[in-house]
Amino acid sequence: MKIILSRFFAATVFTAALVLGPVQAAVKVGEAAPNFTLADITGQRHSLAELKGKTVVLEWVNQECPFVVKHYASGNMPALQKSATADGVVWLLVNSGKPGAQGDFAPAKVGEWATRHNAAFTAYFRDQDGKVGKAYGAKTTPQMFVINKDGVLVYNGAIDSIRSTDRNDVPKAKNYVTEALAALKAGKPVEVGNTKPYGCSVKY
């Protein structure tokens, strides 16, 4: 169920509740994605385990990172979110910045930002202690993870093939997330499972 953005403005800041097994160096493509339970910024709890049977995208975000700005200001990321969620994909944003870090927005500010960019994600999490980010080995913003209906990670890396902050590069780039989702929808294996992520460092 998509977040109703008006709920952001009435939301109280919730401390993310987290359940994880032992911290891993990083998840590997072809292995089960680490389970986690987090409260989103409206206070609703989400568990990855409960999403078995659905394709899930995890997007690491820092709204003030120029690389993230590129993909939202151009309309690229919101368009991907809308297309994916229309197909039943669950799209989760994770901000693993420590309290007070660049891009560590309070819920109301996240809502304003999301409304301004017509974002269409399913939920937004503040992973302020960084446990989820470290379990996944998230290094940059944006960094993208695609998990299939069996809970297996099938893609980890960059959103696309052109490392830049220039929004004019978006239509020229090969979009790895789009390709991964199209393959899963067609019942085919994901051809490119790993790429080197680019962007700003996650502000642990």
Mean pLDDT by 10 residues, the chain (204 residues): 38 34 64 97 96 98 98 98 98 97 96 97 98 97 98 98 97 98 97 97 98
Pair type for strands 123-126 and 143-147? unpaired
Helices 176-185 and 76-86, axial angle in degrees (round to 10): 10
Can you give the pLDDT at residue 20? 37
Cα–Cα distances (Å) from 154 to 2, 59, 83, 123, 169, in that order, read 23, 14, 19, 21, 25
DSSP code at position 13:
P
Can you give the pLDDT at residue 15? 32
Cα–Cα distances (Å) from 120 to 1, 18, 60, 143, 162, in that order, read 11, 24, 15, 17, 23
Can you give the pLDDT at residue 27? 87
SS3 195: coil
d(CA 120, CA 114): 8
All structural domains of the chain with their residue ranges: 25-201
Q: Which residue type occupies 30?
A: G
8 A C-beta contact, residue 38 and residue 135:
no
Architecture of the structural domain at 25-201: 3-Layer(aba) Sandwich (3.40)
DSSP code at position 11:
P
Q: What DSSP element (H or E) covers 46?
A: strand 45-47
